[in-house]
Structure 1
């Protein structure tokens, strides 16, 4: 990211003095979809694209913000119970309020920021924004006394209370806890996590954005969640001696016991979730051995399950996955909730250029527009740049 870009705008729009520069990344999720609300594992990592902000306390109670991307300026009092109306500024307002609730003596500050996280690519620009300001406020006003997990939860609470999005914790977690060259297995139930090496020499990681609008919210999402909960309910009825909370607690044998009761659709959806739980653990083992071929195989299996069993793919994403297969890509799958967005692809260096060119030409010929291509590198989480 461009430090001079944020610094020049900060100097221009404020008092000519400089402040501290902070950066928080967006994220990818290598594998582990629709596992969060089923008590399972996700496997994210921070990337080399995110939000960068220059911030300086201004000795008042007023927060003054300038969005470089939107060319918009907003200011508000930290104690204003309503906060700003501009949706982008409410992220910063919410984070400031949540950090204050954690005991940080948040005062007014000036800030200019910009981002290079592609919008609509499922890389969580909003979580990067929240994490950047939470980290900065903790550094400037809290003497770094607030724990990283509390920074994560402050970002999540901002989404819930001030934006109206009932998100999970993966996005903020990846942005705050990310490490260069490492992915993280996060247990969505216990919040326990572990780092795994991701240094795929001879491979590139690239997202290909179909530019199809993501529309998982509402009924499609709820239907799938209800399917999973119904299967758990039926398994629990057969085994009252055990405590079942989510599909995480269920076995393959128990799923087969209720197949006739729950019906084909619910069975297929639960079958995907149990398979995805196993695939995440298999990828962990493979990465510790440096076995990227197995990682890629599991990615393809996840796509097949999301497409055929969980039914959250779309024609365009299946086509991008097909192009990856015929080009000999090591691994490819839908990244995110589905019904649009990106595929994430693990590609050997020697076929990378041909694959990207083929994907652009064939996709454009079929759908009338080229997909967008975003190479990513697993990078450091929230940090002070200077």
Structure 2
């Protein structure tokens, strides 16, 4: 991201004075999809692409925000009770409100922001936007009194309360806590996590963008969360003594025992979630042993589960997964919430060029689209640039 570009737009659209510049990244997730809101485990890392903002207090009670990439400007009051209609402004408005709830005395400010996270790819540009502004507001108005976890939870609450997405905490966590060269295994219930060095010698991680855009606020995403809640309620009825909080508390025998009182669709959703919990733990163990073949095997299993049980894939993503398998790629799966976006691929360096060339050629022939390719570089989390 070009600091001077963001600064030039900020100066142009406001009073010519400069402010502070902050950056928060998007993320990849090696494995562990739709498990965060089920209290399970995830394995994300921050990337080198994200959202950058310049921000300066303006001495009023108004927020004046300019979205550089969209060439769109919005104004709202810090204490306004009406949520802005503009979709991108809802994230900024929500963060202001959620940081106020956490004791930060937010005042009016001018801001401009831009991003280089490819939109609709599953790299979570929205979490990067939330984290960037929560971090900036904490620095400017809170004297850094709010913890990193409060910043994460403020972003999640913004999604829930102002954007209509009942997400878990993985995206915001990765954006705030990321470290260059590290992936993280996060327990989404306890919030305990561990950094894993990302030193896959002989391998590369690469994203293939299907070009199919997803919209996580659609009913399809929230419907799947509701399915998990339905199964959890059935388990609570059958096992009241277990004090179950999420599907993470269930084992396979318990799940089978409620098969007669939940729908077939809800059961398939739960089967995926329990299987994914096991797969994340298997990948953690495999990485400590440099066993990338097991990592790759679990990635393919995740894709099958997301496609067949959770039903968040699409024809294009399944086709990219099959191309990876045909080329001998070690691991490949949908990344993100699904309904479009990217596949993430664990590729041996010696077949990388031939795989990418074959995928581009076949995708163009079938869909008439130029396949976009993003090599994964693991970067740092939210920070003040200057």
TM-score w.r.t. the length of structure 2 is 0.90
The structural deviation recorded for 1:231 is 4.4
Q: 1:272: which partner in 2?
A: 272
1:51–1:315 distance in 2 versus 1, CA, 3 Å = same
Counterpart CA distance in 2 for 1:60 and 1:218 is 36
The answer to whether the 8 A contact 1:197-1:287 is kept is: no
Q: Output one character per residue of 1:136-174: Cα deviation in whole Å (capped at 9) or x when no partner.
A: 111122211111111112222222333333332222121
Q: 1:87: which partner in 2?
A: 87
The structural deviation recorded for 1:24 is 0.4
Question: Are residues 1:46 and 2:49 paired?
Answer: no
Q: 1:155: which partner in 2?
A: 155
Number of residues of Structure 1 aligned to a counterpart in Structure 2: 386
1:16–1:267 distance in 2 versus 1, CA, 3 Å = closer
1:101–1:307 distance in 2 versus 1, CA, 3 Å = closer
Which structure 1 segments of 5+ residues have no match?
none
Q: Output one character per residue of 1:82-140: Cα deviation in whole Å (capped at 9) or x when no partner.
A: 36443323322322232233222322322221001111111111111111111111112
The structural deviation recorded for 1:261 is 6.1
The answer to whether the 8 A contact 1:198-1:287 is kept is: no
Q: Output one character per residue of 1:204-237: Cα deviation in whole Å (capped at 9) or x when no partner.
A: 2221121224367666446544554454455555
SS of the equivalent of 1:7 reads helix
SS of the equivalent of 1:369 reads coil
Query: Which deviates the most, 196-205 or 240-249?
Result: 240-249
1:100–1:331 distance in 2 versus 1, CA, 3 Å = same
Which structure 2 segments of 5+ residues have no match?
none
SS of the equivalent of 1:113 reads strand
The answer to whether the 8 A contact 2:35-2:277 is kept is: yes
SS of the equivalent of 2:242 reads coil
The structural deviation recorded for 1:289 is 2.8
- Aligned-residue CA RMSD (Å): 2.5
1:349–1:246 distance in 2 versus 1, CA, 3 Å = same
SS of the equivalent of 1:183 reads strand
The answer to whether the 8 A contact 2:37-2:167 is kept is: no
Counterpart CA distance in 2 for 1:371 and 1:93 is 35
1:231–1:100 distance in 2 versus 1, CA, 3 Å = closer
Counterpart CA distance in 2 for 1:266 and 1:158 is 27
The 5 Å alignment of 1:122-141 reads 122-141=122-141
Counterpart CA distance in 1 for 2:383 and 2:203 is 27
Query: Which deviates the most, 183-192 or 114-123?
Result: 183-192
The answer to whether the 8 A contact 2:37-2:169 is kept is: no
The answer to whether the 8 A contact 1:184-1:195 is kept is: yes
The answer to whether the 8 A contact 2:11-2:17 is kept is: yes
Q: 1:340: which partner in 2?
A: 340
Segments ≥4 residues shifted beyond 6 Å: none
Counterpart CA distance in 1 for 2:183 and 2:267 is 31
Q: 1:320: which partner in 2?
A: 320
Query: Which deviates the most, 213-222 or 288-297?
Result: 213-222
The 5 Å alignment of 1:199-278 reads 199-214=199-214, 220-221=220-221, 224-225=224-225, 227-236=227-236, 238-259=238-259, 265-278=265-278
Counterpart CA distance in 2 for 1:198 and 1:35 is 22
Question: Are residues 1:303 and 2:313 paired?
Answer: no
TM-score w.r.t. the length of structure 1 is 0.90
